[in-house]
Amino acid sequence: MSFRSSPSRQRRTARHQRFRLHPAQAVVVGFALTIAAGTALLVLPIAKAGPGGANFVEALFTATSAVCVTGLTVVDTAVFWSPFGQVVIMLLIQLGGLGIMIFASLIGLVIARKLSVRSRLNTVTEAKQIGFDDVRGLVRGIVKISLLIEAAVFLMLLLRFTLGYGYTFGEGVWFGLFHAVSSFNNAGFALYSDSLMGFVDDPFICLPLCAAIILGGLGFPVIMQLKKEFRKPLHWSMNTKIVLWGTGVLLVGGWAYITALEWNNPDTFGPLTPWGKILAGFFHSVQTRTAGFNSVDIGMMHDETWLGMDVLMFIGAGPAGTGGGIKVTTFAVLFFIMVTELRGEGAVNIFGKRLSRAVHRQAITVVLIAVGAVVAGAALLMVISGEPMDQSLFETVSAFATVGLSTGITNEISTFGQIVLIVLMFLGRLGPLTLGSAIALRERHILYELPKERPAIG
């Protein structure tokens, strides 16, 4: 005997499926709702240090920058926001760094001790995991790693602030906690008006922050594999090897580049000791991994330094972590495609493995969309606010790559220019492919192929 659903039940099912979000859409909506909630909290008079409250654009820009773990600001975080407002910013940074879907899954595990299939799909999509197994272990692992690293950095900063700078225990706890969360999540928010310029030659402040930034930028899949198989490099995935090698090369290359160009600059590294210059160079190379702290005035750096930092920021950190940019893996894939083409080989091989052809298209898509977004954003800033090209480009790359470094023009540009940066931060945090697939109404399965033809290239 067969049973047929009633018409009313079929209509309810159809409506439910119509409004069910694709996992990519759920990630986008989750971030958007979190930004909206953060904006609502920051608009409250209690969130502002002085009389009155923040205006809508100030609150929206700050909430977007915090959730997208960027660090660009249109107001001085240290003096504009009240302790309540600063706590809201710190919580938004933590939520944005962990990932909205991952946090929602954590709540589901705590309350219901289980995850629905939809929650698992959303979590896997945001964490960019290929496998669907043990999603609960994935969520627990990400949260545990985040809290352990933040706790370690917090303790080091607490000791330094209290023993080295005479902070009270309460001040040390607050400043240590805020900057530990901000650094691991690659956010770049600081509770000092000059960011970290007061600690430019202090390794006990700079190096713990750098360690947290680098670890957060590696990405959770890499950290979790290193945790399990640190002594078995032969078992490491292609993703892990690319991220580790790429991160090392870019950190050392950026360190040498920035230090060499700024060594004698009287407005940045010039007054420092040789050790201070080396530390400052390393610190700012790490910041281009998409963190956003600065220990010297970025606006006084040479134009050539800005250009090199643009490239480093645009590449960014590892996938599925707290960093931004087009990702080290995307850049590496394009590099190996180029090498393969120059050699005249057929397949792209990386670390003894053949690269899937689908990844070629994804990497090209991400880069082209990223270049288009950055160029369009820079052009709009130049037209709207009349800023020079080098500063406009630096600002838009910093926003799209969710870095947070600035030449000092963020609070000077017009409201429409700030909205442009908000859009770039949102797009950069979610990634072009995630946002694009979320916008698409459905996937198209074409059942035919057209004839091949080759246009002339080059």
How many other CB atoms are there within 10 angstroms of residue 201's CB atom?
17
8 or 336, which is more confident? 336
Number of domains in the chain: 1
106 or 21, which is more confident? 21
Q: Read off the pLDDT of each residue in 334-347 and give the average, rounded to a whole number.
A: 91
Examine residue 3 and state whether it is found in any structural domain, yes or no.
Answer: no
| Helix (H/G/I), strand (E/B), else coil: 100 | helix
Angle, helices 328-343 vs 238-262, to 10°: value is 100
- Burial of 27 per CB tally in 10 Å (0-12, 13-18, 19+): buried
Q: Which of 192, 188, 200, 407 is nearest to 295 (CA)?
A: 200
Report the pLDDT value the prediction gives residue 320, as an integer from 0 to 100: 77
- Quick check: 128 pLDDT over 80? no
Examine residue 32 and state whether it is found in any structural domain, yes or no.
Answer: yes
Widest pairwise Cα distance in the chain: 88
How many other CB atoms are there within 10 angstroms of residue 322's CB atom?
32
Examine residue 444 and state whether it is found in any structural domain, yes or no.
Answer: no
Reported confidence tier of residue 359, pLDDT bands at 50, 70, 90: confident
Reported confidence tier of residue 114, pLDDT bands at 50, 70, 90: low
How many other CB atoms are there within 10 angstroms of residue 138's CB atom?
22
Residue 164 is classified by DSSP as: I
Report the pLDDT value the prediction gives residue 431, as an integer from 0 to 100: 78
Reported confidence tier of residue 334, pLDDT bands at 50, 70, 90: very high
Examine residue 7 and state whether it is found in any structural domain, yes or no.
Answer: no
Q: How far is CA 331 from CA 53, 236, 248, 313, in A?
A: 43, 19, 14, 12
Tally the residues of the chain: 458
322, two tokens: 């707290």
CA 86-90-91 angle, to 5 degrees, is 120
Is residue 220 within 8 A of residue 124, CB to CB? The reply is no
- Quick check: 455 pLDDT over 70? yes
Examine residue 452 and state whether it is found in any structural domain, yes or no.
Answer: no
Distance in angstroms (rounded) separating the CA atoms of residues 47 and 80: 9
Report the pLDDT value the prediction gives residue 102, as an integer from 0 to 100: 64
Report the pLDDT value the prediction gives residue 118, as an integer from 0 to 100: 52
Report the pLDDT value the prediction gives residue 220, as an integer from 0 to 100: 80
How many other CB atoms are there within 10 angstroms of residue 35's CB atom?
25
Q: Read off the pLDDT of each residue in 357-381 and give the average, rounded to a whole number.
A: 91
| Helix (H/G/I), strand (E/B), else coil: 349 | strand
Report the pLDDT value the prediction gives residue 130, as an integer from 0 to 100: 46
CA 31-90-22 angle, to 5 degrees, is 15
Mean per-residue pLDDT over the chain, rounded: 86
Examine residue 406 and state whether it is found in any structural domain, yes or no.
Answer: yes
- Quick check: 53 pLDDT over 80? yes
Examine residue 15 and state whether it is found in any structural domain, yes or no.
Answer: no
Q: Within 13 Å and on the Cβ side, how many CA atoms surround 427?
A: 24
pTM score, whole prediction:
0.88
pLDDT tens digits along 231-273:
898 889 898 999 999 999 999 999 999 999 999 999 999 999 9
Distance in angstroms (rounded) separating the CA atoms of residues 248 and 372: 28
Is residue 327 within 8 A of residue 411, CB to CB? The reply is no
Reported confidence tier of residue 433, pLDDT bands at 50, 70, 90: low
CA 251-257-261 angle, to 5 degrees, is 145
Q: Which of 87, 91, 86, 90 is nearest to 75 (CA)?
A: 86
Distance in angstroms (rounded) separating the CA atoms of residues 183 and 286: 11
Q: What residue numbers bound the domain in which 220 lies? A: 24-438
Q: Which of 128, 287, 139 is nearest to 216 (CA)?
A: 287
Reported confidence tier of residue 400, pLDDT bands at 50, 70, 90: very high
Examine residue 41 and state whether it is found in any structural domain, yes or no.
Answer: yes
For 200: left if phi > 0, alpha if psi spans -120 to 50, otherwise beta; the answer is alpha
Is residue 101 within 8 A of residue 125, CB to CB? The reply is yes
